[in-house]
Structure 1
Amino acid sequence: MTPRKLRAALALGAATLAVGALAPAAAASPPAGIVWESSCQSGYECGHLDVPLSYQDPSAGTVRLAIGRLPATDQAGKLGTIFFNPGGPGSSGRLAPALTPELHRRFDIVGFDPRGVGASSKIHCFTDPSQLEVLQRALGTFPLTREAERQQIADTATVTELCGRNGGPLANHLSTGTIARDLDRLRAAFGEPKLRFYGKSYGTYLGETYANLFPGRVGSLALDAVDDPVRWSTGSAPMSYRLRGYEDGARAIRSFLDACGSRCAFRFDEILDRLEAGPITVTDTTGRQSAVTYQGAISRIHGYLLDARSAPQLAAFLQALADPASRAPAPAGGPPDVDSMLGGGATLCSDAANPRDPAVWWEFARRADRVGRGFGPYDVYKTLPCATWDVADTGRYAGPWNRPTAPVLLLANRQGDLETPYAGAQRTERLLGNAHLLSLDTYGHGSRGKSACVDAWLDRYFVTGSVPAPGTLCAPDRGPFD
C-alpha cells in the first residue's frame, strides 16, 4: 500500500484522534521513575530518568537522561505533554522553549538531553587537555589543498582513535534507534498514552524513527526542518554528501542577494576568490581585528543564512570582507561542549552508512563545491570521522519509513535550508505513512517562531489534530531586511 493510500485508510482514525485531543488531560500522577532535583533554572522543573544502556541486553546496566519540564501556565485546562528535541545530534534539549504562547498555556513541555549529551550520561574521549589541540585542527573545517587534506585525515583519525580507546561502552549505544526507545520510556514515565513531540532538524530524524518503531503510539509529531531518513541512513556516498544541504546553500545565498539588492555593494564570488588567495583582515564593531580564512568565512556565512532575519549582519560581514573600511559584526560563540559534540558524532556515525576510506571525501567535496561553492566542502567534511570511528549500535534503525501513523506535520522553508534542504522535506512527505507538509516562503533553518501562520498551524495541530491542505504556503512575519 502506498503512503497516499495509507493516509486515506487512516482518515477515520485521525479524526478520532483529533476529537480526543480536545479533552483536557486528567490530573497527572507523578511521572514514574523520574527523580526530581531541587535546583533548576527559573520556571522549569529538573529531574532525571535512568534507562537501559542497551535495549537488546538489559543486563548491560543503565544510563541517565537529564530532563526539564516547563509547566503549562493553565494547569486546570492542560491537555497533556509535548516532548521536545532541538536538533544536533549533540545539542542539549533539557530546557525546552515555550514553542508558542498557546502551546505553553495548554501543555507541559518536556525537554531532555539525549544520552551522550549535556547533563545526561556522556562519553569522554580525551584524558589530557593537550589532546584538544588535535580536535580543533580536525573538526569544523575542510581542506583546500591535498597537503591540508592529508593532515586533516591524520588529525581526524587521531581523534577517533582516542574516542575508541576512551569512550567506553556508551559509544556503541548512541544510535537514534536507541534514543527513540529512550523517548518512548519518557512518554511512558509521564503517563502519556501517545507521544506528542516537536523536533527540529536532527529532531525530525528522531521523530521519524520513533514513528516507525512505535507507529501505534504516535499522537502528534511536528517535524520542523525535515531530514530525509532514507538519505540519512543509507547510501554509498558520505552521508553529508547524500543530504545535499549544499544545494540549498546556493539557493539561500541567491535569496539573500536578491533581497539585499542595491544594499549590497559587493560581488559574492569575488569575495570568495579573494579568500581563496589568502585570509582577509577585518575590523569588527568592537574595534578588534582578525584574519578571516576562506573556511572561517564560509562557516560564518553558513551560520547567518540559517535565519533570514540575520540578513543585515550577513550583509555587513560580506561588506567588511570586500571593503577594509567597513566594520564586521563581532563573531558570536563560546567554548563548545566537546563531550556532547563527540557524543553527537557517535550518534551520526552509528546511524549513517559511510565509506571507510577517508580519501574519498576529497572527490565528493569537489563535486558538491561545483553545486554550492564553499558550502559543498563545508558540508561534506562534517562526516569524515565516520570513516575511521568504529561505532556500531545493535539498536540502530534504518527503515522501513512508511508505517501507518496518525497525521504527522512537516515544516520546511521553501527558499532554501542549508542544513535540511527543502527537497528532502518534499521527499519525506511522500515517504512517511501519513505526513502533511506546511511550507514557509523564506530561507533559513526552521520555521517555528518566524511566521504567525506557521505558529497558528502548530497550535491547531497539537490542540485539535488539524493539518493543512496540500500545498499550503505561509508568509514570514517580516522579510530579511524589514
Structure 2
Amino acid sequence: MKPRKLRVALALGATAGAVALSAPAAAASPARIVWEDSCTAGYDCGHLDVPLSYQDPSAGTVRIAVSRLPATDQAHKLGTIFFNPGGPGSSGRFAPALTPALHARFDIVGFDPRGVSASAKIHCFTDPSQLEVLQRALGTFPLTRAAEQQQIADTRTVTDLCEQNAGPLAGHLSTGTIARDLDRLRAAFGEPKLRYYGKSYGTYLGETYANLFPGRVGTLALDAVDDPVRWSTGPGPMSYRLEGFSDAPRALQSFLDACGSRCPFGYNTILDRLETGPITVTDTSGRPTVVTYQSAIARIHDYLTDAGSAPRLTAFLQALADPALPAPATTGGPPDVDSLLGGGATLCTDAANPRDPAVWWDYAERADGIARGFGRYDVYKTLPCATWELTDPGRYAGPWNRPTAPILLLANRQGDLETPYAGAVRTEHLLANARLLTLDTYGHGSRGKSACIDGWLNRYFGTGVVPAPGTVCAPDRGPFG
C-alpha cells in the first residue's frame, strides 16, 4: 500500500513474530535487549519487547527484531546510529555500514519495525488461493473504466480479508507508535540522544520522532525527504498529495539527455505501442516476458530511482522498441506479503485519504497529465486506504516545527520519483532547525553516490555540524559512468 514499496505478492510471508497479548507492557525503566545466539555473519541479533499500545499498558507487548553492526574501531567508538531503510513494510534489521568512517566509529543498529519481517506481523490471508485476488488488486493501475471497477472490487476483497484476520496489531502500526518503539530502542542501547539515518519513509519516521521527542534529538540525517504535512494530512489521496510523479519528467529527461545516441528510440512511441497491447520481449537468460503498459511503467519507474541503473533502463527500452534485442532479466524473489501489508496498515493509519475509491480515477487522470504513466502508477498505490478503515491512538500528525538540534536533509535535485525534490525544500523550511544538502543527480537517495555527500554525513554524525545553506554536491559518476 505504500506509494513506493507495495508490489504484487506471489507467496505468503513468514509467520514469525506473533503478537504477545498475555504479557503486561514494559515497565517504566528501560527494557533490555535480549541477545540471541545465532545471527548473520558480522552482526549481533536480538529483540526488544515493547508495548502493543502506549496508551493502554495492559494490552500486552509486541516483539521488535534488532541487530547491531559493531564499530570496527571499538576503542574509539563514538556511540550508536540507528537506521531505517524506508518502506513502510521494508526490513531494516541488517543495517549497511553507511560509510567506512561511520562504520569505524559507530555501532549501527537496524531493526524491523512492528509489522515487518522478523518483528510482530499481521496476517491477512488464511489460504494461499487468496493471493490470486491480491495479484489483481495491487501493484497495477486501470486504463479503462471497466478495469477501474474490477480493481476497486478486488482491492476491497483484500482489505476486507485484512480487517477480518489481521488482529489487534493492525490498530497499532502508525508511525507515531513506531517512533515510540524507536525511543525504547534508544534507551535500551543506553543512548541519551538519538543518532539516526533514515531514507524515504525513514525520513517520515525521523520527522515524527523529532517532533514527539525534540529534546532527545542528537543527529538525524534524513535522506530522500518526505513532506510530513502532505504525508499525513490534506485533501485527496496521499499518493497524489506527495506528487512523486511530478519529478518523473525531469528524471526521465535527465536520463535521456545522458543516454544521447545510445537511445535512438522514441520514448512516447514505445508507450503508444504498449497502449495498443502487450509486447513480448526475451531477457538475457532467454526467458520470454510479456510486458504490459502497466508493467513497463513500473520497471521504468524503478530504474529511474537509481541513476546507476541507466544502462539497464536503456536495454529495456531498446528491447521494447525492437523485441529482437535482449531485455535485462528481472531480479529479486517473491515479496513478504505480511510485511508489505503491515506497511500498508502503517500508511493507511498515518495518512488522511478519501473514503470513496471512485475518486482515485480523477486524481490519477490529473497526475497523468503531468507525468504520463507515472501519474496513474503513483496515485493508485494508495487505493486500499479507501476501504481499509484503520485507526491508532498513537498516530501523530503534527505540529512539525518543535525546536531540535540541527537535522540534516539530503535530496536529489534532478528528480526523485518517490520523494520529489520540492518536498525536501518545503521540509527544510517546515522543521524548526533543518539544513538541506543537495546532490546534483536524479534518483532516490543520496548516500553512497558522492564523496561530498558521504563526507558531510561523516562530519555531521561526528560533530553535529551542517553545511552552509544552498550547498550542492556533485555525484562521483554520471548515469553511464
CA contact (8 A) 1:32 1:190 kept: no
Partner residue in 2 for 1:113 = 112
Aligned equivalents of 2:422 and 2:456: distance in 1? 21
For 2:381, the aligned partner's letter is: K
For 1:202, the aligned partner's letter is: Y
Aligned equivalents of 1:239 and 1:183: distance in 2? 24
Question: For 1:26-105, what aligned pairs fall within 5 Å after superposition?
Answer: 32-105=31-104
SS, match of residue 343 in structure 1: helix
Question: For 1:297-312, what aligned pairs fall within 5 Å after superposition?
Answer: 297-312=296-311
SS, match of residue 63 in structure 1: strand
Q: Structure 1 length normalisation: TM-score?
A: 0.93
For 1:387, the aligned partner's letter is: A
Partner residue in 2 for 1:162 = 161
**1:38-91 CA-partner distances (Å, limit 9, x unpaired):** 110000000000000000001101000000000000111000000000000000
Aligned equivalents of 2:354 and 2:379: distance in 1? 12
Aligned equivalents of 1:168 and 1:263: distance in 2? 52
Partner residue in 2 for 1:283 = 282
Partner residue in 1 for 2:13 = none
Partner residue in 1 for 2:338 = 339
**1:294-323 CA-partner distances (Å, limit 9, x unpaired):** 000001001100100000100000000001
CA contact (8 A) 2:312 2:328 kept: yes
CA contact (8 A) 2:195 2:220 kept: yes
Aligned equivalents of 1:198 and 1:324: distance in 2? 42
Aligned equivalents of 1:410 and 1:155: distance in 2? 39
SS, match of residue 418 in structure 2: coil
Partner residue in 1 for 2:454 = 455
Aligned equivalents of 1:284 and 1:118: distance in 2? 31
Aligned equivalents of 1:237 and 1:279: distance in 2? 31
Partner residue in 1 for 2:221 = 222
**1:96-146 CA-partner distances (Å, limit 9, x unpaired):** 000000000000000000000010000000000100111111110101111
Q: Structure 2 length normalisation: TM-score?
A: 0.93
Q: CA deviation at 1:33?
A: 1.6
CA contact (8 A) 2:31 2:184 kept: no
The structure 1 segments of at least 4 consecutive aligned residues displaced by more than 3 Å after TM superposition are none
Aligned equivalents of 2:325 and 2:438: distance in 1? 36
SS, match of residue 327 in structure 1: coil
Aligned equivalents of 1:394 and 1:353: distance in 2? 15
Aligned equivalents of 2:360 and 2:456: distance in 1? 41
Partner residue in 2 for 1:177 = 176
SS, match of residue 55 in structure 1: coil
For 1:257, the aligned partner's letter is: L
Aligned equivalents of 1:123 and 1:401: distance in 2? 29
Q: CA deviation at 1:287?
A: 1.3
Aligned equivalents of 1:288 and 1:350: distance in 2? 40
2:336 pairs with 1:373: no
SS, match of residue 328 in structure 1: coil
Partner residue in 2 for 1:469 = 468
CA contact (8 A) 1:223 1:409 kept: yes
Aligned equivalents of 1:53 and 1:143: distance in 2? 37
Q: Which moved more, 1:129-138 or 1:325-334?
A: 325-334
2:343 pairs with 1:349: no
SS, match of residue 43 in structure 1: coil
Aligned equivalents of 1:279 and 1:133: distance in 2? 21
For 1:342, the aligned partner's letter is: L
Q: CA deviation at 1:330?
A: 0.5
Q: Which moved more, 1:62-71 or 1:325-334?
A: 325-334
**1:160-217 CA-partner distances (Å, limit 9, x unpaired):** 0000000000000000000000000000000000000000000000000000000000
CA contact (8 A) 1:412 1:438 kept: yes
Q: Which moved more, 1:349-358 or 1:258-267?
A: 258-267
For 1:411, the aligned partner's letter is: L
Identity %: 82
Aligned equivalents of 2:465 and 2:310: distance in 1? 33
CA contact (8 A) 1:98 1:104 kept: yes
Q: CA deviation at 1:32?
A: 4.5
SS, match of residue 404 in structure 2: coil
- Structure 1 unaligned runs (5+)? 1-30
SS, match of residue 148 in structure 1: helix
Aligned equivalents of 1:32 and 1:80: distance in 2? 19
Question: For 1:193-232, what aligned pairs fall within 5 Å after superposition?
Answer: 193-232=192-231
2:152 pairs with 1:153: yes
**1:341-391 CA-partner distances (Å, limit 9, x unpaired):** 000000000000000000000010000000011100100001000000011
Aligned equivalents of 1:159 and 1:465: distance in 2? 46
For 2:202, the aligned partner's letter is: G
Q: Which moved more, 1:244-253 or 1:86-95?
A: 244-253
SS, match of residue 76 in structure 2: coil
Partner residue in 2 for 1:11 = none
CA contact (8 A) 1:255 1:415 kept: yes
CA contact (8 A) 1:442 1:476 kept: yes
Partner residue in 1 for 2:385 = 386
Partner residue in 2 for 1:329 = 328
**1:438-475 CA-partner distances (Å, limit 9, x unpaired):** 00000000000000000000000000111000110000
For 2:333, the aligned partner's letter is: G
For 2:98, the aligned partner's letter is: L
Aligned equivalents of 2:141 and 2:332: distance in 1? 20
RMSD over aligned CA atoms reads 0.7
Partner residue in 2 for 1:17 = none
Q: CA deviation at 1:332?
A: 1.6
- Structure 2 unaligned runs (5+)? 1-29
Q: CA deviation at 1:262?
A: 1.2
Aligned equivalents of 2:323 and 2:55: distance in 1? 59
Q: CA deviation at 1:333?
A: 2.2
> Would you say how many aligned residue pairs link Structure 1 and Structure 2?
452
SS, match of residue 394 in structure 2: coil
Aligned equivalents of 1:270 and 1:434: distance in 2? 47
